[in-house]
Amino acid sequence: MNENDKHCIKSILGAIDKIQKFTENFKTAEEFCEHELNYDAVALNFVVVSEMVAKLSDEFKQKFNNISWENVKIVEDKVTNTFIGTNVDYLWIVVKKHIPIFKAVLEKLPLE
């Protein structure tokens, strides 16, 4: 794995950790949205995830093609757009259901 791909995966995992940290104390999407600092911090970290996925090399994406990288990018872009709109339920589903699964898959990647 090249250094750029390692950096991207580590950045994605770091952003996911922050997303989880900034949402862990909220029970509902509505409650989360009431806390502007947390909401903005999560929005920024979704941008980081999206940008880092886009910067992964094609070789990396082909090697680890069990992950639908295009779908990840689409979901992250949609979530980022959600922060501008009002579909907080979609955002909450991604944060609470999809992000933990994505994180678990990434943590199994050999970063050597």
Give me the residue spans of the domains in the chain: 3-107
Band (pLDDT 50/70/90 cuts) for residue 78 is confident
Do residues 42 and 23 touch, judged by C-beta distance below 8 A? Answer: yes
Look at the chain and count its residues.
112
Structure confidence by residue, pLDDT tens digits, 2-50: 999 999 999 999 999 999 999 999 999 999 989 989 988 998 898 899 8
Q: Which CATH number is associated with domain 3-107? A: 1.20.120
Q: What number is the average pLDDT over the span 85-89?
A: 72
Say what the pLDDT of residue 82 is: 63
Say what the pLDDT of residue 90 is: 82
Q: What Cα–Cα distance (Å) separates residue 34 from each residue in 3, 50, 92?
A: 39, 24, 13
pLDDT more than 70, % of the chain = 94
